[in-house]
A and B are shown apart, each in its own frame.
Chain A
Amino acid sequence: MVGIVGFGVYVPRYRIKTSDIAELWGEDGEKIGPGLGVFEKSVPGPDEDVATISVEAARNAIKMAKIDPLDIGAVYVGSESHPYAVKPTGTIVAEAVGCSYNMTCADFEFACKAGTAAMQAAMGLVASKMIKIGLAIGSDTAQGRPGDALEYSAAAGGAAYLIGQKNPLATIEETVSFTTDTPDFWRREGEDFPSHGARFTGEPAYFRHVGEGAKLLFAKTKTTVDDYDYFVFHMPNGKFPVAVGKQIGVPKEKLEDSLVVRQIGNTYSGSAMIGLARILDIAKPGSKIFMVAYGSGAGSDAFSITVEDAILESRGMVPTVDDYIQRKTYVNYATYAKYRRKIKALG
């Protein structure tokens, strides 16, 4: 069966506390963290972007999978912050990890679920035997307009998944999607920062699509919440995944381990995929994982995953999600602004 033969993540080293951002804008710093469920967020270094984050995550995945990169037949990078408006990120990744030139490559865009859409495409190619292994990446260096609510959560990070059939660490039994045209969040060409429909981002967007995606997956797999050990939802902040979990009837302890958003913020295309990686870092063989990624615009991709025995052999090879979460250096708002090019004069 098609599954994950290797995975790797990358989270930049810098962090800013959401309380520091709040205080700069005259908000109550004490309240912001618990209110949003985000206490600190990752900040990319001045020389990091989606290409560099994707390469680091992909190199980890390849090392874990112990595969020959020449066996990768497709490289798909999902992001909403590709370094170029025109010119793929995927070619940079493929070259840097040592792929063959005889492979297909494309960049994906679907807000925060571009990476899981890439996973689905890779699954199709593997299942149809068009390729042996597909590399699907979700990676972002998300930006929030200074002073906007998004600034508290927009973070950087990525995850890479190698999809194949031989000796998977976890099998993907089923995937379904729920997609509508819903303008809850967007960025027009040439704009530095995204715009969003404020309150509109909740009920008709995130909650409807994640909820419907989950419902479709339960129906298709004839399963219920009780059949799963872990749940992963897209994490635009720390509150939404908890609230949607409550709506679906997920016990808190089945969701807790995936909530990386509290320490690193919303890594957009990396969000649910890093949450899944954190579960794969710790789950016992036989565990069942239910994941729903969400992308504004809007859609959800839901996956039913079972952890296999091979996962035990894969551990200890590359840094875990927690290794990256714990490797951190705090920066103040001034340094953050400098790194994130909020100071235009510096170029």
Chain B
Amino acid sequence: MAEQGVASVWRRIKAIYTIQGNMCKTCGSYYFPPRPVCPECRRKGKLELYTFKGLGTIYSYTVVRQAPEDFKRQMPYVIAQVELDEGTRLTAQIVNVDIENVEIGMRVRACFRKIKEFGQGGIIAYGYKFEPTMKVTGHKEKSSPKQKEP
């Protein structure tokens, strides 16, 4: 079953690599995953592809301590509802964080990770996860080190 997952992963590559959804030009709503029609405007809606900036806030989260076989090496881990700055929410794993430091309202940014391996010989699915925004110090020669979100 080495071909397992190929079609479903390939179809979603653009969306899950770059968090590409869509935005309705009529009402200004953002959607992820992308919708075929805007549920607000129906036929009046004008949907355009939109790549999310990948910055957001933890809206709610849970710690996973019992995981399926594929995720055992990562246990325990955090799954959160992330509210993107554009206003839509998505579910994602939070990485690069100690579980005790996760909190609602925490600023996070999208990162690129391995999502699933379809067995030893199968394909590897990649996509977004989120991590706490990182400190960017810039350069020591500058008088005031900048604190920006990458």
A residues neighboring B (CB under 8 Å): 13, 45-49, 51-52, 55-56, 59-60, 63, 83-84, 92, 95-96, 98, 281-282, 284, 312, 315-320, 322-323, 327, 329, 338-339, 341, 346-347
Contacts and interface: CB of A to CB of B under 8 A. Distances in A.
B44 interface: no
B79 interface: no
Contacts of B95: 45, 47
Interface residues of B, number: 35
B136 A13 contact: no
B138 A48 contact: no
Contacts of A49: 114, 124
Given A49-B114, A52-B113, A95-B13, A338 B73 contact: yes
B150 A95 contact: no
A104 to B, nearest CB: 19
A302 to B, nearest CB: 27
A197 B55 CA distance: 48
Contact of B18 (A13, A96, A281): A96
A338 B74 CA distance: 9
Interface in B95-137: 95-96, 98, 111-115, 120, 124, 126, 129, 134-137
A316 B148 contact: yes
Interface string B11-54: 00110011000000000000000000000000000000001000
B146 A46 contact: no
- Among B51, B69, B70, B136, chain A packs the most CB atoms within 10 A around the CB of B136
Contacts of A47: 74, 95, 113-115, 129
B136 A319 contact: yes
29 contacts: A13-B96, A45-B96, A45-B113, A47-B95, A47-B113, A47-B115, A51-B114, A52-B114, A55-B112, A95-B14, A98-B18, A282-B139, A282-B140, A312-B139, A316-B136, A316-B138, A316-B139, A316-B142, A316-B146, A317-B136, A318-B150, A319-B136, A319-B150, A320-B139, A323-B134, A323-B136, A327-B135, A341-B73, A347-B73
B44 to A, nearest CB: 30
Given A45-B95, A95-B17, A96-B126, A318 B73 contact: no
B65 interface: no
Contacts of B129: 47
B114 A318 contact: no
Nearest to B73: A46
Nearest to B148: A316
A98 B17 CA distance: 9
Contacts of A315: 138-139, 142
B134 A319 contact: yes
Given A323-B135, A347-B73, 12 more contacts: A45-B96, A48-B113, A59-B112, A96-B126, A98-B18, A282-B141, A316-B142, A316-B145, A316-B148, A317-B136, A320-B136, A338-B73
A24 B82 CA distance: 40
Given A45-B95, A56-B112, A319-B134, A281 B126 contact: no
